[in-house]
């Protein structure tokens, strides 16, 4: 399925609440027993707190002389006071236990959800990863998942507790005060109507606020990553203006939602006051006429005040629920994205590749039918070194991406050892193909951890031997801590050449049977290039090597060179053959000021 940022945004607004809630509740399944125990105990706590008003009713009737549980007034008072004290103590202890248990369950669920979300994002293809900026993915994995925690730790328990309270109040009113219970029932439709209107409005504002925060995170991520460019061109003022725009968007979204709450809560309070006035209007005459006791009137008045407390709690939690649902929409739509490239049990898994690569009439486009590669066909025999050269944008790097199944061609077939690469498991492809890119990414850590990628199965001797083989040990041994030297964020404390040498060592230490180099020498100095060139000659014995290069000096010794132009292969042969043909390769070679070599050839 194809996705882009606009489609994903619209899908986030189309999911039904029940679908989202089901998606979230499934993470509760593992902790169902604990959760049900907490809910059961929470019901006991709710009953205890609600029954306190009944206890006070009896105390009032005892003191007014209309009721005695025992023959003695003192014993009757002491009994109900002790009953209230014991029930409140037990309720308090149980409430603490329930609260702490729910907090733990919420964090367990968030941990599970973050793990699944992160793993799912890693499973997406490069094309799918481009649907949104990195900052948006970060927001979903951090902020949005944390919001889901509040659903289990606060919203769901409080809504259930408040609902139980409402039910118990109504039941108790009918038991002790008969028809007065209809007063409370009459207000419930109004409460739900106002809550429904509020919920729909609040959802719109929360979506806007979440989108603004996501855009802010993306802007910050991009700004901090590109800070050197901003400073080099003196564009700090412009970045500050952009920040203010994003900041104002968040502020405005928040203010709109708060204005809604500022209107809603007074409206609910007005309903409560109307309810109290109605209770007083009916209750006072009844009490004066002695049709109900003073304790009954006290219970009726107490419940009229208590009735709207759980209503307000439910309303507040519905407000919070909109925040959770908005986060849930953003998470669920990512989880619903089916990875374009997956392994299946039927996939072929071999310990090593012989190394034959074949393209058969391959067409590929990043978007629509704007083909970057058009009817590309070639064969690279096993164990040979092949190079692809051509102008920027010709499609050279795309060929590398297709071999590794980073992308999938729209037409044609790609084979390794005469087997379609779609039939190999992804693990098999990644294990057997080593790839070195132009832009080397180093993680924060040490040199050793960047070479091994924290694989504990790789020994120190392997790291050292591979570093020596590619010439990386020359600069590593100059460092005070050697292989334990710190690597700062993105490897900014190393030169481009040093990072590339570490990339070479990283590739070799995993013992691939094929190596792909995508502009691996484009951004390095001459000294580092000479070291890498020497390293390339050493590692050619590993197996098939595919090189994409602008510097033709790095591929002169390739067994076969393919010249790519506008997505098509227009020339092929070894270095000497292509020079003699005096075609595009000849012109490229001449433009790199190698006329002397041409004459000698």
What's residue 521's pLDDT? 64
Decide: pTM greater than 0.85. Answer: no
Residue 351 lies in a domain: no
The CATH number that applies at residue 560 is: 3.40.50.300
Residue 386 dihedral angles phi and psi, to the nearest 5°: -115, 145
What's residue 10's pLDDT? 46
What's residue 573's pLDDT? 93
Say if residue 72 is exposed, middle or buried (CB neighbours under 10 Å; 0-12, 13-18, 19+). Answer: exposed
Residues 262, 118 share a domain: yes
Q: Which of 294, 315, 335 is the last residue of a domain?
A: 335
Rounded distance, CA 294 to CA 56, Å?
Answer: 11
Residues 21, 129 share a domain: yes
Report the domain count for the chain: 2
Contact call for residues 323 and 512 (beta carbons, < 8 A): no
Residue 553 lies in a domain: yes
Residues 437, 323 share a domain: no
Residue 285 lies in a domain: yes
Query: 498: Cβ–Cβ under 8 A, 6 or more apart, which residues?
Result: 472, 475, 528
Rounded distance, CA 158 to CA 42, Å?
Answer: 9
What's residue 104's pLDDT? 87
Residue 347 lies in a domain: no
Residues 434, 326 share a domain: no
* Closest among 203, 238, 245, 206 to 223, alpha carbons compared: 238
Where the chain has pLDDT below 70, the residues are: 1-17, 132, 135, 232-233, 319, 343, 345, 520-529, 531-532, 593-601
Residue 367 lies in a domain: no
Residues 328, 389 share a domain: no
Contact call for residues 348 and 424 (beta carbons, < 8 A): yes
Residues 302, 389 share a domain: no
- The two structure tokens encoding residue 13: 């607004």
Instruction: Supply the range of the domain harboring residue 495.
Output: 385-393+430-600
- The two structure tokens encoding residue 286: 């009844």
Residues 389, 308 share a domain: no
Residues 320, 462 share a domain: no
Could you report how far apart the first and last alpha carbons of the chain are, in Å?
52
Cα angle, residue 592 at apex, residues 590 and 598 outer, rounded to 5°: 35
* Closest among 435, 594, 599, 411 to 515, alpha carbons compared: 435
Residues 169, 54 share a domain: yes
What's residue 598's pLDDT? 46
What's residue 549's pLDDT? 82
Q: Are strands 544-548 and 514-518 parallel, antiparallel or unpaired?
A: parallel
User: How many other β-carbons are positioned within 10 Å of the β-carbon of residue 553?
Assistant: 14
Residue 378 lies in a domain: no
Q: Which of 335, 351, 366 is the last residue of a domain?
A: 335
Residue 359 lies in a domain: no
What's residue 597's pLDDT? 52
Q: What is the pLDDT of residues 353-362, one digit of tens each?
A: 999 999 999 9
Residues 221, 318 share a domain: yes
The CATH number that applies at residue 176 is: 1.20.1560.10
Residues 290, 173 share a domain: yes
Rounded distance, CA 46 to CA 44, Å?
Answer: 5
Q: Which of 320, 335, 350 is the last residue of a domain?
A: 335
What's residue 372's pLDDT? 92
* Order of all β-strands in the sheet with 419-420: 371-380, 357-365, 411-416, 419-420
Residue 401 lies in a domain: no
């Amino acid at each position: 399925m194809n996705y882009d940022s606009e489609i994903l945004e619209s899908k986030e607004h189309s999911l039904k609440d029940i679908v989202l809630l089901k998606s979230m509740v499934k993470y509760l399944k593992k902790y169902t027993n604990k959760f049900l125990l907490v809910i059961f105990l929470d019901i006991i706590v709710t009953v205890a707190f609600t029954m306190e008003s009944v206890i006070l009713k009896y105390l009032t009737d005892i003191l007014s002389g209309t009721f005695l549980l025992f023959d003695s007034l003192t014993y009757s008072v002491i009994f109900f006071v002790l009953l209230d004290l014991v029930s409140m103590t037990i309720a308090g202890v149980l409430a603490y236990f329930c609260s702490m248990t729910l907090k733990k369950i919420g964090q367990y669920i968030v941990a599970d959800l973050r793990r699944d979300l992160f793993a799912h994002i890693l499973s997406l293809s490069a094309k799918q990863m481009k649907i949104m900026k990195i900052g948006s993915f970060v927001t979903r994995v951090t902020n949005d998942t944390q919001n889901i925690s509040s659903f289990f730790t606060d919203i769901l328990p409080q809504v259930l507790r408040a609902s139980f309270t409402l039910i118990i109040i109504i039941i108790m009113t009918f038991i002790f005060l008969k028809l007065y219970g209809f007063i409370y029932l009459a207000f419930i439709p109004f409460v739900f109507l106002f809550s429904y209107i509020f919920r729909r409005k609040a959802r719109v504002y929360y979506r806007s606020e979440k989108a603004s925060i996501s855009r802010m995170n993306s802007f910050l991520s991009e700004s901090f990553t590109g800070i050197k460019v901003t400073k080099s061109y003196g564009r700090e003022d412009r970045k500050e203006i952009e920040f203010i725009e994003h900041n104002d968007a968040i502020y405005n979204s928040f203010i709109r939602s708060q204005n809604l709450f500022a209107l809603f809560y007074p409206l609910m309070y007005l309903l409560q006051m109307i309810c109290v006035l109605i209770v007083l209007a009916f209750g006072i005459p009844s009490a004066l006429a002695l049709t109900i006791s003073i304790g009954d009137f006290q219970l009726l008045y107490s419940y009229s005040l208590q009735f709207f407390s759980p209503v307000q709690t439910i309303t507040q939690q519905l407000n919070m629920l909109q925040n959770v649902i908005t986060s849930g929409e953003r998470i669920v739509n990512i989880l619903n994205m089916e990875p374009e490239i997956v392994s299946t049990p039927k996939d072929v898994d071999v310990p090593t590749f012989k190394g034959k690569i074949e393209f058969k009439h391959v067409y590929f486009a990043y978007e629509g039918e704007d083909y970057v590669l058009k009817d590309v066909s070639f064969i690279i025999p096993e164990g040979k070194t092949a190079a692809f050269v051509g102008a920027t944008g010709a499609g050279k790097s795309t060929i590398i991406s297709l071999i590794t199944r980073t992308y999938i061609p729209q037409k044609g077939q790609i084979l390794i050892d005469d087997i379609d690469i779609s039939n190999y498991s992804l693990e098999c492809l990644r294990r057997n193909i080593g790839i070195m890119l132009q832009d080397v990414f180093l993680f924060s850590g040490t040199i050793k951890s960047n070479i091994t990628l924290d694989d504990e199965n790789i020994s120190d001797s392997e790291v050292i031997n591979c570093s020596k083989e590619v010439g990386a040990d020359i600069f590593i041994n100059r460092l005070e801590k050697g292989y334990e030297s710190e690597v700062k964020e993105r490897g900014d404390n190393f030169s481009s050449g040093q990072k590339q040498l570490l990339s070479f060592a990283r590739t070799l230490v995993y013992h691939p049977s094929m190596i792909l180099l995508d502009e691996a020498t484009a951004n390095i100095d001459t000294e580092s290039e000479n070291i890498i060139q020497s390293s390339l000659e050493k590692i050619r014995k590993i197996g098939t090597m595919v090189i994409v290069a602008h510097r033709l000096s790095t591929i002169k010794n390739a067994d076969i060179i393919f010249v790519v132009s506008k997505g098509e292969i227009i020339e092929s042969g070894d270095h000497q053959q292509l020079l003699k043909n005096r075609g595009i390769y000849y012109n490229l070679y001449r433009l790199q000021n190698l006329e002397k070599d041409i004459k000698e050839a």
